[in-house]
């Protein structure tokens, strides 16, 4: 069976299924189809299925013409009917893995995907989980569901592995196609097959590891590394403010060292799906082993506190001009979680807005990438244009996302006061009305 599958990979006869057509799944489905594999995207959201089948792109990292051409040529289609899993040789699970209200892992999407796959998959199927999760999920959660619901045996009748997604929305250098891939699987045959599938599609290195748990922990380490270092520099920023030292100048100076230092930058908090969430997955799993992740949890607390710190700084700035935060007109520039993308998942900018609203500020926002957002009970629309009147009538302007298509010189000329949490205005000459984080 393994040799037959390897031959089918070489001959591009493998049929690929991708569960979840979001920021991870759709780019992966497009790359699989571009590599010559007929691909089916599965999603429970009908509007995503309809858009894909119409050749309409909704993900920034996918090229519009690539998607439309692949759909037109019959290489890619989408469906909400999971019975088509029976026709798939390779199935990648790319569904969300959020936290619940208690900040604990919510694997309901992974579980429901596994149940849907198991109901229809046949012998010889390769299944790969790409969603970020805690170590042992593949073997302790996914494998039992697939075996019990399908009647098939892992390693004998089907092949199972984990290969963490490494999507960085808006990155103009690294994308799904050229980013190195890590693969861990249950058994040598599964590892060889799954790695061969990725090598047939991607330009980046495919690095194999000894087990799914190693691959799962590797992804957690990547993002926990960033979380801790951002927590460190955020704490340094707070201390530097008290000492009247410019943290941005400090970082620039430290970055001149050619070894032993990697620059990280402060901001209003952490955003995106992975970096703010993954440390919670690890600290939750660590409790099973009676282990307290003290350094990780400390960085999480610092980063989680940054939106409130930004609110406090805004209050102090307004107080200096005898203006109360209650009733003050505050304009935030940007709600996307990072520069030049339309993704606002877990955006710290939205948490800053909520903090400001909680103390009575009259808040509006401008974001050329995000015209509208809904986060829980909060729903807002961007002002249509960043005009002289909008800026001059605001008591305070807060830069919460450093979009490159905002004219910061124009902002400086017409705003009364500016709180720049991203150092987006570092090249503006006249800085008398600007205060940085």
Burial class (CB in 10 A: 0-12, 13-18, 19+), 383: middle
- Residue 128 host element (H or E): strand 126-129
38-68 in b/e form (b: 16+ CB < 10 A) is bbbbbbbeeebbebbeebebbbebbeeebbe
Rounded distance, CA 351 to CA 363, Å?
12
Q: Which two tokens stand for residue 272?
A: 């995106």
Tally of residues, the chain: 437
Rounded distance, CA 97 to CA 277, Å?
9
Rounded distance, CA 231 to CA 84, Å?
45
Q: Which two tokens stand for residue 354?
A: 């909520």
Q: Which two tokens stand for residue 419?
A: 């709180």
Q: Identify whether the C-beta of residue 160 lies closer than 8 Å to the C-beta of residue 138.
A: yes
In order, the DSSP letters of 166-179 are ---TT-SS--TTTS
Q: Which of 94, 154, 240, 274 is catalytic?
A: 274
Which residues partner with 78 through β-bridges?
A: 41
The two beta strands, 206-208 and 181-185, are parallel
Q: How many other C-beta atoms can be found within 10 angstroms of the C-beta atom of residue 381? A: 11
Q: Which two tokens stand for residue 237?
A: 């920023």
Q: Is 154 a catalytic residue?
A: no
Which residue pairs, CB below 8 angstroms and at least 24 apart, start in 50-53? 52/21, 52/26, 52/76, 52/77, 52/78, 53/77, 53/78
Residue ranges of the alpha helices (H) in 103-262? 108-120, 137, 143-150, 188-199, 212-242, 247-254
Rounded distance, CA 227 to CA 264, Å?
10
Which residues partner with 397 through β-bridges?
A: 331, 418
Q: Which two tokens stand for residue 107?
A: 């694997």
Q: Give catalytic residues, as residue numbers.
A: 274
């Amino acid at each position: 069976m393994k040799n037959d599958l390897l031959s089918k990979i070489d001959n591009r006869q493998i049929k690929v299924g991708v569960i979840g057509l979001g920021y991870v799944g759709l780019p992966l489905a497009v790359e699989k189809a571009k590599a010559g594999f007929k691909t089916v995207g599965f999603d429970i959201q009908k509007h995503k299925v309809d858009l894909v089948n119409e050749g309409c792109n909704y993900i920034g990292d996918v090229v519009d013409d690539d998607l439309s051409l692949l759909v037109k040529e019959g290489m890619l289609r989408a469906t909400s009917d999971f019975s088509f899993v029976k026709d798939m040789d390779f199935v990648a699970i790319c569904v969300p893995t959020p936290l619940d209200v208690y900040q604990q892992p919510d694997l309901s999407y992974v579980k429901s995907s596994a149940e849907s796959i198991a109901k229809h998959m046949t012998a010889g199927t390769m299944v790969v989980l790409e969603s970020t999760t805690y170590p042992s999920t593949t073997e302790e959660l996914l494998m039992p569901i697939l075996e019990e619901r399908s009647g098939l045996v892992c390693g004998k009748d089907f092949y199972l592995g984990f290969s963490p997604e490494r999507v960085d929305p808006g990155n103009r250098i690294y994308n799904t196609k050229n980013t190195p891939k890590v693969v861990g699987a249950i058994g040598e045959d599964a590892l060889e097959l799954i790695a061969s599938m990725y090598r047939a599609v991607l330009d980046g290195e495919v690095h194999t590891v000894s087990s799914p748990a190693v691959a799962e922990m590797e992804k957690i380490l990547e993002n926990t590394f960033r979380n801790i270092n951002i927590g460190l520099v955020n704490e340094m920023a707070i201390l530097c403010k008290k000492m009247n030292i410019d943290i941005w100048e400090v970082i620039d100076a430290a970055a001149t060292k050619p070894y032993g230092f990697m620059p990280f930058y402060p901001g209003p908090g952490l955003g995106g799906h992975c970096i703010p969430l993954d440390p919670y997955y690890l600290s939750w799993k660590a409790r099973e082993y009676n282990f307290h992740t003290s350094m990780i949890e400390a960085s999480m607390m610092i980063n989680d506190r940054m939106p409130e710190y930004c609110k406090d700084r805004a209050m102090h700035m307004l107080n200096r001009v005898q203006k109360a935060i209650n009733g003050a007109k505050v304009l935030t520039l940007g709600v996307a979680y990072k520069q030049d993308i339309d993704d606002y998942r877990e955006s710290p900018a939205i948490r800053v807005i909520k903090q400001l609203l909680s103390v009575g500020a009259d808040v509006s926002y401008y974001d050329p990438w995000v015209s509208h957002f809904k986060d829980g009970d909060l729903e807002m629309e961007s002002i249509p244009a960043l005009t002289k009147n909008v800026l001059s009538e605001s008591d305070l302007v807060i830069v919460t996302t450093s979009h490159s298509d905002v004219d910061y010189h124009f902002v400086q000329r017409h705003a009364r006061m500016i709180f720049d949490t991203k150092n987006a205005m570092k090249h503006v000459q006249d800085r008398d009305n600007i205060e940085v984080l």
